[in-house]
Amino acid sequence: MGRRQPAGGHPERLAISVRGLHEVFRIYHERPPGIKERMYRFRRSRYEEFHALDGIDLDVRHGETVALIGHNGSGKSTLLKCIAKILPADEGEVVVNGRVATLLELGAGFHEELSGRENVYLNGAILGLTRREIDAAFDAIVDFAEVHKFIDSPVRNYSSGMYVRLGFAIAVHVDPDVLLVDEVLSVGDASFQEKSMARMRSFSERGKTVVLVSHDLGAVAALCERTLVLNRGRIVFDGPTEAALDLYHQLMSTGELPAPAAAGQGRVGDLRARITDLRVEVGGLGVAAPAGGGPIGPVPTGSTARFAVQVSARDDLIGDGGLSVGLHVRRPDVPPSVYETRTSWRVTYLAPPPEGEALTVTFELDLDLLTGSYLIDFLVGNASTNALHERWSGAVELIVEAPSSEQGIAPLDARITVHNPDGVWPLESHPPPLDDGGPVYHPVRDGARPPAGR
């Protein structure tokens, strides 16, 4: 220990410190290789690598109770196993200060054929207790687990609730410094859940550290001030539980992070600089767009739209680098983006206005677009620090109507010709009525012979 100073403090103040952790699983192809594959096997890999953890950085201080939430398969159990050193890190570093007890998936660590009593001694020993220490804790463990009648039966006869109760009882009676709990609390009955939650609370009151994986968001909110959201092996949020749960709900319902293209409507950011007014003018038709003011349009293709974005900033932003104001056009049905621009890309970095003042950035666009609904997001960011001050997603919805019936976003105005080599079958059957101003249809007939049947 101590060969590295984790960011943000003395190593001994941190219970858990994880740096650049990658955990890679090899997924072997099960199909037996065909003859060709066997011949070329030396060139092919027989497995794929799957990054279950893809660069995790995490510090947990002593006494913190941290929740870890995320989709199934997001890597929660893998991360706990890496912290518990059950899985070795493929890359990166995991430092844990203090005695760790883990309560992993159901029954992990239990031997089916051994009795409850034998498993208590076995697990206690694995967790570093002496026989005498286990003797002293034994009755309390059995009481807590409420398995008196079955303590001498093999645990294979236990119900899942009994398994979990006994596992939890052992883990907490070992009195670890760091307790890792994976998804097991929901198995027990309500009174056991109460008891376990109370136990975890008293843990953190005594300066112990808990990392809790749970789908029980009520328990997460009740126990943890800090929550990590894991998505595809990465920590996508680390902060107050309430905000984490918001993000998690968004992830669950859309399967996507609220990235610019995926977010629906709404305003997020640290609001140190923010949009204080937004005016939209399309094709001479003046519209002041209020938040959620409903779609504007239909407006004809080629109309000019002007967006005046008024931005104010807090005083503490001055000297923090230049602002950038962005505009992002997207279609709800076409990820990810139709067009995106920023003042920092096209013009310059902007000095934040002093408090009480505002600057206004006007974007003027020609809506050379095909028929459809277009959402426009605005953002205020810090071009120097990349901080997001505000993103206003779906601030404006524009319905564009193009005369042609073509589909997509960009009117690329295809010039279409049709080639009928011998002119032997009728080229035209029921030609569609052509839209005014749409693409022009130029039938080309080869040779002098008129098409048959004409």
Ligand X SMILES: Nc1ncnc2c1ncn2[C@@H]1O[C@H](COP(=O)(O)OP(=O)(O)O)[C@@H](O)[C@H]1O
Which residues in 124-283 belong to E strands, given as ranges? 178-182, 209-213, 226-231, 234-240, 266-268, 273-282
Torsions phi, psi for 65 (to 5 deg)? -115, 110
Instruction: Confirm if 398 and 296 have CB atoms less than 8 A apart.
Output: yes
* Residue 78 CB, nearest approach to ligand X (Å): 3
Site for Mg ion in 58-117 (CB under 5 A): 76-77
In the bound state with ligand X, the residue whose beta carbon lies nearer, of 65 and 74, is: 74
In the bound state with ligand X, the residue whose beta carbon lies nearer, of 54 and 246, is: 54
Helix (H, G, I), strand (E, B) or coil at 17: strand
Could you tell which of Mg ion, ligand X, none binds residue 382, using a CB distance below 5 to 8 A set by kind? none
In the bound state with Mg ion, the residue whose beta carbon lies nearer, of 77 and 102, is: 77
* Residue 164 CB, nearest approach to ligand X (Å): 16
Instruction: Confirm if 311 and 323 have CB atoms less than 8 A apart.
Output: yes
Task: Find the radius of gyration of the CA atoms of the chain.
Answer: 31
Site for ligand X in 70-99 (CB under 6 A): 70, 72-78
What residues are paired with 226 via a beta bridge?
66, 240
Helix (H, G, I), strand (E, B) or coil at 402: coil
Helix axes 160-173, 116-126, angle to 10 degrees: 40
Could you tell which of Mg ion, ligand X, none binds residue 70, using a CB distance below 5 to 8 A set by kind? ligand X
Site for Mg ion in 340-399 (CB under 5 A): none
In the bound state with ligand X, the residue whose beta carbon lies nearer, of 227 and 382, is: 227
Could you tell which of Mg ion, ligand X, none binds residue 123, using a CB distance below 5 to 8 A set by kind? none
End-to-end CA gap in the chain: 91
Could you tell which of Mg ion, ligand X, none binds residue 75, using a CB distance below 5 to 8 A set by kind? ligand X
CA distance 310 to 325: 10
Could you tell which of Mg ion, ligand X, none binds residue 204, using a CB distance below 5 to 8 A set by kind? none
In the bound state with Mg ion, the residue whose beta carbon lies nearer, of 77 and 227, is: 77
Could you tell which of ligand X, Mg ion, none binds residue 52, using a CB distance below 5 to 8 A set by kind? ligand X
* Residue 45 CB, nearest approach to Mg ion (Å): 27
Strand bridging mode 91-96 / 14-28: antiparallel
What mask of x and - would describe binding to Mg ion in positions 37 to 56, judged by CB under 5 A?
--------------------
Query: Which pair of structure tokens corresponds to residue 261?
Result: 């293209």
307's CB contacts (< 8 A; 6+ apart) are: 278, 279, 280, 327, 362, 363, 364, 365, 376, 378, 396
Could you tell which of Mg ion, ligand X, none binds residue 372, using a CB distance below 5 to 8 A set by kind? none
* Residue 168 CB, nearest approach to Mg ion (Å): 17
Site for ligand X in 14-73 (CB under 6 A): 25, 27, 50, 52, 70, 72-73
Site for ligand X in 310-369 (CB under 6 A): none
CA distance 18 to 185: 25
Helix (H, G, I), strand (E, B) or coil at 419: strand
* Residue 224 CB, nearest approach to ligand X (Å): 17
Strand bridging mode 209-213 / 65-69: parallel
Residue that is written with structure tokens 């799957």 in the block = 50
* Residue 25 CB, nearest approach to ligand X (Å): 3
Could you tell which of Mg ion, ligand X, none binds residue 214, using a CB distance below 5 to 8 A set by kind? none
Binding of residue 204 to Mg ion (CB under 5 A): no
Site of interaction with Mg ion (CB under 5 A): 76-77
Site of interaction with ligand X (CB under 6 A): 25, 27, 50, 52, 70, 72-78
